[in-house]
Amino acid sequence: MFKSLLKPVALGAALMMPVAAAASVAKPPVGFQGQWWTHPSGCEYSRAGRPGETVWFLIINTAKPGCPTYIATKTWGGVYNAQGPKM
């Protein structure tokens, strides 16, 4: 009985692993100078931040599950985490 229950659980865990890896922090390339950037999952971000700081904020009408609300690439004083909570 337990063997029959473990197979679907193991299969589900194996299928979930690549999704979790793909959802890791994706950032614009170093030296990217554009105002807008598209995340690999299709969400769009706009560049903002104080002088010398770069934070990419999610354009809300492009939000999809798994997209962080912001992506911090260069900040002062650790105000931001590497990324915000996911949508």
Q: How far is CA 30 from CA 39, 43, 73, in A?
A: 14, 19, 9
pLDDT digits (tens, 9 = 90+) for 11-57: 444 333 333 334 457 889 888 889 999 999 899 999 998 888 888 99
> DSSP string of 38-77?
E-TTS-EEEEE-STT-EEEEE-GGG--TT-BSEEEEE-ST
Confidence of residue 59 (pLDDT cuts 50, 70, 90): very high
* pLDDT for residue 30: 84
| CA–CA gap between residue 35 and residue 42 (Å, rounded) | 16
- Segment 49-77 shows an average pLDDT of 86
